[in-house]
């Protein structure tokens, strides 16, 4: 049969034609009005049932959650808000749903409750909208890079590298855990493991990505990364997707320009493509804001925030300038930031990042030139001997969304830094080869995909913007 998707049906205003739609019942009122949804849009199509001429046994099976196929005539709508209804001629139950047991009732459920039934939450208006926006953003990311001639490079999921401390790793092994081979000294004998060495799930594709850029010029990765993050925050997952472009013949300014352009491009793309979903999410957020005391409410709606982000240049300043601002600021009741007792050289906490973005500049911020001690060995050393060409992008409500840098392309400088920190050079011989043979200035960054989805959807918890969240004690489905 030819099935019409509900989105397409609602967008055309042709009436007096027969169509077949399939979907799940959201509500069934007065034995007469079915709100049917098929996930193609947030909007339901209203099915008008001729109950006097419909079998009572069939009517009973039209329950919330049931899957239906409906054939009928498109007619001008009786109700408000919708242009058309379908006057049912034939209703077929494809799958029953016991109303006593179906966890999703036609009412507003809390996000906490929905997290416990993450296998069914796709069927709610909120999560339908989130995952369609997520889909659009991932498509837009590919399109941005493809338009600019970047090569999509697949970096390995299983690797021997931990990207030098980017995050805690998950080990990969095929040892029989009851019987792990040991060496004479009683240490685990990884030589006998599948790969003949210790391996883990990737925490970042950057080092491998650099190898690609040193030949293909501009590459990007877009894949899952894994970090055994111990903290239970609203911004960290154990499995998250990261976009990592790497560009040869590029410096820190090119890097900032690319990241800012990418973020604006994909946000604009979603605003155009998923207008309905974002309007819905904006209203949802507004309802949530109304629960808060007046002075804590956001001044802008979600749609306004997104538009504001497009219309304004991101503020660019150095870490040192940021510290000066924070030093003189009094975030709450004349109390200064505690950490500044320690002063220059300490890493910013998310409260400091959010202060800069939300209170001081009131827009996205790019911080550059961090102290080398708090950044990775591969970042390019600045002439001052103290800082590196790092850049973090901070977003309102999110904090860090992008971390990147110009990379150290000078072999001597790189080796000297590795020695200082105590990173074994022999293990990274392949990485150092790119500097030995035709090394050149290059730069790149990592964009956390879920943090982007979090920003665009206005949701508050990262567990709500990935279909199957992985976090401590949670991996059932």
237 binds, among ligand ATP, Mg ion, none (CB under 5 to 8 A by kind): ligand ATP
Pairing of β 158-159 and β 199-201: antiparallel
CB-nearer residue toward ligand ATP: 140 or 242 = 242
CB-nearer residue toward Mg ion: 103 or 371 = 371
Name the DSSP letter for residue 273.
Answer: H
CB closest to Mg ion, residue no: 403
CB of 305 to Mg ion, least distance (A): 22
401 binds, among ligand ATP, Mg ion, none (CB under 5 to 8 A by kind): ligand ATP
CB-nearer residue toward ligand ATP: 67 or 157 = 157
CB of 231 to ligand ATP, least distance (A): 8
Interface segment toward Mg ion; rule CB under 5 A; list 71-79, 99-107, 399-407, 458-466? 399-407
Give 337's Cβ-side CA count (13 Å radius). Answer: 25
Contacting residues for 259 by C-beta, under 8 A, at least 6 apart: 366, 391, 393, 402, 404, 445, 447
CB of 162 to Mg ion, least distance (A): 13
CB-nearer residue toward ligand ATP: 150 or 395 = 395
42 within 8 A of 280, measured Cβ to Cβ: yes
CB-nearer residue toward ligand ATP: 129 or 402 = 402
212 binds, among ligand ATP, Mg ion, none (CB under 5 to 8 A by kind): none
CB-nearer residue toward ligand ATP: 49 or 379 = 379
CB of 56 to ligand ATP, least distance (A): 52
Interface segment toward Mg ion; rule CB under 5 A; list 23-31, 112-120, 396-404, 437-445? 396-404
Among 377, 435, 389, which Cα is nearest to 214's? 435
Give dist(CA 56, CA 58) in Å, integer: 5
CB of 165 to ligand ATP, least distance (A): 9
Which positions lie near ligand ATP, rule CB under 6 A? 166, 227, 229, 235-237, 240, 242, 400-403, 446, 448, 450-451
Burial 55-74 (b: 16+ CB within 10 A, else e): eeeeeebbbbbbbbbbbbeb
Give dist(CA 455, CA 451) in Å, integer: 6
CB of 121 to ligand ATP, least distance (A): 19
CB-nearer residue toward ligand ATP: 181 or 467 = 467
227 binds, among Mg ion, ligand ATP, none (CB under 5 to 8 A by kind): ligand ATP
71 within 8 A of 2, measured Cβ to Cβ: no
Angle at 147 between CA 439 and CA 202, to 5 degrees: 55
Alpha-carbon separation of residue 450 from 80, 161, 289, 304 (angstroms): 36, 23, 22, 21
Contacting residues for 331 by C-beta, under 8 A, at least 6 apart: 337, 351, 355, 359
CB of 445 to ligand ATP, least distance (A): 8
Residue 403 within binding range of Mg ion, rule CB under 5 A? yes
- Helix 252-273 vs helix 302-311: angle between axes, to the nearest 10 degrees? 140
Q: What are phi and psi of 242, to 5 degrees?
A: -130, 145
Q: Across the chain, how many H-helices and E-strands are there? A: 13, 16
CB of 226 to ligand ATP, least distance (A): 9
Interface segment toward Mg ion; rule CB under 5 A; list 91-99, 369-377, 402-410, 425-433? 402-410
From residue 327 to residue 366, the character string flagging contacts with Mg ion as x (rule: CB under 5 A) and all else as - is: ----------------------------------------
CB closest to ligand ATP, residue no: 448
Report DSSP letters for 307-357, one per residue: HHHHHSPPEEEEHHHHHHHHHH---BTTBPPGGGGT-TTSPPPHHHHHIII
CB of 232 to Mg ion, least distance (A): 14
Note the residues at the interface with Mg ion (CB under 5 A). Answer: 400, 403
């Amino acid at each position: 049969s030819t099935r019409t998707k509900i989105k397409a049906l609602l967008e055309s205003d042709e009436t007096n034609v027969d169509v077949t739609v399939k979907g799940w019942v959201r509500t069934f009122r007065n034995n007469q009005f079915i709100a049917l949804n098929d996930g193609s849009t947030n909007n339901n199509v209203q099915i008008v049932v001729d109950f006097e001429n419909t079998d009572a046994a069939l009517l009973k099976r039209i329950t919330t959650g049931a899957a239906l196929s409906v054939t009928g005539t498109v007619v001008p709508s009786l109700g408000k808000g919708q242009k058309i209804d379908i006057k049912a001629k034939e209703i077929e139950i494809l799958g029953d749903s016991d109303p006593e047991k179906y966890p999703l009732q036609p009412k507003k459920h809390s996000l906490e409750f929905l997290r416990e039934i993450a296998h069914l939450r796709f069927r709610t208006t909120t999560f339908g909208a989130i995952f369609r926006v997520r889909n659009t953003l991932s498509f837009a990311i590919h399109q941005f890079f493809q338009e600019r001639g970047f090569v999509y490079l697949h970096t390995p999921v299983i690797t021997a590298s931990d990207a030098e401390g980017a995050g805690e790793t998950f080990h990969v092994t095929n040892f029989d855990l009851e019987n792990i081979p040991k060496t004479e000294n009683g240490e685990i004998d990884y030589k006998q493991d599948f790969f003949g060495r210790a391996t883990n799930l990737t925490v970042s594709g950057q080092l491998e990505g650099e190898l690609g850029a040193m030949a293909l010029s501009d590459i990007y990765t877009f894949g899952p990364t894994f970090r055994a993050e111990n903290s239970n925050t609203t911004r960290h997952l154990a499995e998250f997707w990261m976009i990592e472009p790497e560009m040869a013949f590029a410096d820190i300014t090119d890097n900032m320009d690319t990241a800012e352009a990418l973020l604006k491009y994909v946000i604009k793309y979603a605003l155009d493509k998923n207008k309905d979903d974002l309007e819905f999410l904006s209203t949802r957020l507004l309802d949530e804001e109304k629960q808060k005391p007046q002075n804590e409410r956001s001044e802008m709606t979600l749609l306004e925030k997104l538009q504001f982000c497009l219309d304004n240049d991101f503020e660019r300043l150095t870490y040192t300038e940021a510290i000066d601002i924070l030093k003189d600021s009094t975030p709450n009741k004349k109390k200064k930031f505690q950490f500044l007792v320690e002063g220059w050289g300490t890493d910013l906490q998310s409260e400091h990042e959010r202060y800069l973005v939300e209170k001081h500049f009131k827009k996205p911020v790019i911080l550059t030139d961090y102290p080398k001690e708090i950044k990775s060995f591969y970042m390019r050393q600045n002439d001052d001997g103290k800082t590196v060409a790092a850049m973090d992008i901070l977003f309102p409500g999110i904090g860090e969304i992008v971390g990147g840098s110009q990379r150290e392309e000078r072999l001597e400088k790189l080796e000297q830094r590795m020695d200082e920190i105590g990173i074994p050079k022999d293990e990274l011989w392949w990485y150092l080869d790119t500097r030995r043979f035709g090394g050149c200035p290059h730069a790149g960054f990592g964009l956390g995909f879920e943090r982007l989805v979090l920003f665009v959807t206005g949701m508050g918890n990262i567990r709500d913007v990935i279909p199957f969240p992985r976090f401590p004690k949670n991996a059932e489905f």
